[in-house]
Structure formats: structure tokens, C-alpha cells
Structure 1
Amino acid sequence: GTRVDVNGVVRRQLGSRKASFAPMETATGATGMEYGGITPIGLPADWPLLVDAAVVDRPHVLIGSGTRRGKLIVPGKAFLDLPGAVVLEGLGVN
């Protein structure tokens, strides 16, 4: 029931007038991961990784593995150690 506040929190964090998700070809080409399985682990170093504070507080989080068929279960606090990670309050909205 939670979604990313792209036109509020994300736009302000990036300092832009408008924000949107990358086209599929851009995301898969830059990451080497499959569409539908892109994970925050192993993203290009120059990509910001915006993480809702509630994710960090979770004991475990289910994320993609880079392929559509696989998933990873990681501690929420593991996001703090990922390159480019920025923890934001209110990133996810109901």
C-alpha cells in the first residue's frame, strides 16, 4: 500500500522541477540486470539510492536479485552501507 513520492520527496531531493523513472532500456542497459528484477545492490556508483527510513528500520527486506526469478532477503540496515544510499523520511506514501 506504499508508493514512492516521486513528484514530492524525490524531486526535492534531486533538486529538479520534474522526476520520472528511467526507461526500461536505460535501466537494464546501465545495470546489466533484468527488467522486473533490478536490485539496489550493484547499481552504478553515480546513481543516488533513495531509501525510505521505514525500510532501514525493518528487520528484513525482500528485494530483487538482478533477475526476475530470484529474490534476496537482506536486513533493512544493510541499505545504509550501499553506495549512494540516502535515507529519507516520507519517501514512501500511502
Structure 2
Amino acid sequence: MTSPAVHVAGSLRPEPALDRPELLAAPVLDALRGLPADRATACLVAAIDPELADTAAFCDAYGSPLEASANCVVVAGARSGERRFAACVVLATTRADVNTVVRKRLDVRKASFAPMDEAVELTGMAHGGITPFGLPAGWPLLVDTAVLAAPAVVVGSGRRESKLFVPGAVLGELPGAEPVDGLGR
């Protein structure tokens, strides 16, 4: 059976992600290995030009539909001196509602995108490749319900040199995942 993820790959020919561990950041590979076998085999990966890792450039270069791309962003806030983090996954045609939805979920007065160097350090993933797979333990993973409903989405692989192509529902099964209506606006 062909994974629905193949249909969002544009001109790329993705392969089973676990067959190409060199294309994955270490925490992403560990997360994929921890999935049930049927879920792991539905996750595909393809090498890309790292200069084309940003969503718009990727979609233009490879013919992947923008509406099938999902962005994963790291959000931070503080309460009583404690830094709190969450990862948010929204379709690339939307933006995460950090000021209302995420702020309330983190229970902080102000939430904002984490500084890129901090997000890279905490996740062990590259800038432009941060993905919902393999996030730090204990972080909430807020996933817009539109992403979960998608037959397949393109997400980062933890590296700029590749992309993952996965059924949207798989993201809802990752550790810390919480479906959120209206996360993407």
C-alpha cells in the first residue's frame, strides 16, 4: 500500500524514513523508531537542497502544495520565574495563535516564539528543520486539528537537508500531543 504521504511530495521520491537514518536528526530518528510499525512505515523522507528548507522555497522548488505543509514552531513563556515551552504545529497557510491560544495553554502572561538559538539547542534540531518528532520530554505538542485531519503533511526532519512526509493523524499520536481547534489562524 502506498502511503498517502507520497501525494504531497511534489517532484521528490520519498522513501521510508527508517531506511534513511542519515537524513534524520538523532531525536527524530529515535521518535520514529518508537512508533508502532504501521505508523513508522507510513512516515517517509526525502533529501532536499538545504538552501530550500524554508517552506515557501521548498514548495516552489519541488512542487509540493503549500496547503500540505505544516510548520512546527517552539513557543516560550514564563510564570513565577519558570520558563515554559510548547511546540505548535499549524498548516503553512496559517499562523499559530501564540498570543491567545498558546499563552492560555502554557498559563503564562506573555508567550512568544522562542529565540532560534534556544529552540535549536533545546530540541537538538536544526533551524528550519524543527519538527514535532523527538521534542523534549514534557513539552506539550499543540497540533491544529486541520493538521490532524490532513491525509498527509510535509514537516521538518530535524535537519535542513530533508523533509518528512507523514499522515496528519500520526502527529496526534506523538508524546505530549494535544489537538487544538483554532490554533492556526
TM-score, with length taken from structure 2: 0.49
Q: CA deviation at 1:79?
A: 1.0
Higher helix share: 2
Aligned to 1:14: 106
Structure 1 letter corresponding to 2:129? G
Aligned to 1:41: 133
Moved more, 36-45 or 17-26: 17-26
Whole-angstrom CA distance in 1 between matches of 2:98 and 2:162:
26
1:25 is aligned, of 111, 117, 131, to 117
Q: Can you give the 5+ residue segments of structure 1 that lack an aligned partner in the other structure?
A: none
Structure 2 letter corresponding to 1:62? V
Q: Can you give the 5+ residue segments of structure 2 that lack an aligned partner in the other structure?
A: 1-92
After superposition, give the CA deviation of every residue in 1:5-36 in whole Å (9 maximum; x if it has no partner).
10011111111111011111211111111111
TM-score, with length taken from structure 1: 0.94
Whole-angstrom CA distance in 1 between matches of 2:135 and 2:113:
15
Structure 2 letter corresponding to 1:51? V
Question: RCO higher in 1 or 2 (8 Å CA, sep ≥ 6)?
Answer: 1
Aligned to 2:51: none
- Please provide the CA RMSD for this pair: 0.9
Give the ranges of 4+ consecutive aligned residues of structure 1 lying more than 4 Å apart after TM superposition: none
- The number of equivalent residue pairs is 93
Whole-angstrom CA distance in 1 between matches of 2:158 and 2:171:
16
Whole-angstrom CA distance in 1 between matches of 2:113 and 2:96:
11
Q: CA deviation at 1:46?
A: 1.6
SS of 1:4 mapped into structure 2: coil
After superposition, give the CA deviation of every residue in 1:20-73 in whole Å (9 maximum; x if it has no partner).
111112111111111110111000012111100110000001000011121000
Q: For the pair shown, which has the larger CA radius of gyration, 1 or 2?
A: 2
Whole-angstrom CA distance in 2 between matches of 1:61 and 1:87:
16
Moved more, 8-17 or 53-62: 8-17
2:171 is aligned, of 67, 75, 79, to 79
Identity percentage of aligned residues: 60
